[in-house]
Amino acid sequence: MKLSLVPALAALAFCTAPAFAALSVGAAAPTFSTQASLAGKEMPFDLAKALKKGPVVLYFYPAAFTTGCTIEAHDFAEATDGFRKLGATVIGVSADPIEVLDKFSVSECRNKFAVASATPQMIADYDVKLATSTRANRTSYVIAPDGKIIFAYSAMDPAGHVQKTMDAVKAWKAAHPKKI
């Protein structure tokens, strides 16, 4: 019994350890267009268009209405006004169908920011696929208006994603006060 417990504990430790964002700071963010939902209303989302307005906080999450993803959505909803004051757009992305995201955008995102349906190509381009499924892992990126990644962070625990992305946007804003 003790021998079989050791591999199980090792596997559990591996699954809960923080992952590292696949795209590094300075890399060009892959452009994409997809269907999104804001306040239950579907709309197109185009990264290139959003970057013309300022930095984009792009966060991938595994699945709508799961515990960690709900916590993270609530945290981003509370911080959205602060991101807007800095000129940043927040967009959450998962592999969920748009019909699920219509509901998630209202109840968990509190009508504050859009959530988008990730295509398999987006998940591959950003290299955020969970090893055991087609879902994305929990990875946050801040992308500057020039399309370069200025912050990347991955960890399955939602704690820290919002504050770390906010800090990155604040640092970018301080270095580019006239850009917004």
**Tens digits of residue pLDDT in 91-137:** 999 989 999 999 989 878 898 999 999 988 898 898 887 656 666 77
Residue 131: the pLDDT is 55
Q: How does pLDDT run across 66-87, given as a tens digit for each residue?
A: 777 878 888 899 999 999 999 9
Give the pLDDT confidence score for residue 175 in this predicted structure.
Answer: 92
Residue percentage of the chain with pLDDT more than 90? 53
The mean of the pLDDT values for the chain is 83
Q: What pLDDT score does 145 carry?
A: 97
SS (H, E, C) 58-99: EEECCCCCCHHHHHHHHHHHHHHHHHHHCCCEEEEEECCCHH
pLDDT at 4: 43
- Note the pLDDT of residue 108: 86
pLDDT of residue 16: 31
CATH of domain 28-173: 3.40.30.10
Closest CA to 97 of 32, 30, 34, 29: 34
Expressed in angstroms, the distance from the first to the final Cα of the chain is: 61
Task: Note if the pTM is more than 0.85.
Answer: no
Amino acid 142: pLDDT: 97
- Of 159, 166, 3, the residue nearest 83 (C-alpha): 166
User: What is the predicted pLDDT for the residue at 77?
Assistant: 92
Burial class (CB in 10 A: 0-12, 13-18, 19+), 91: buried
Would you state the pLDDT for residue 127? 83
8 A C-beta contact, residue 36 and residue 91: yes
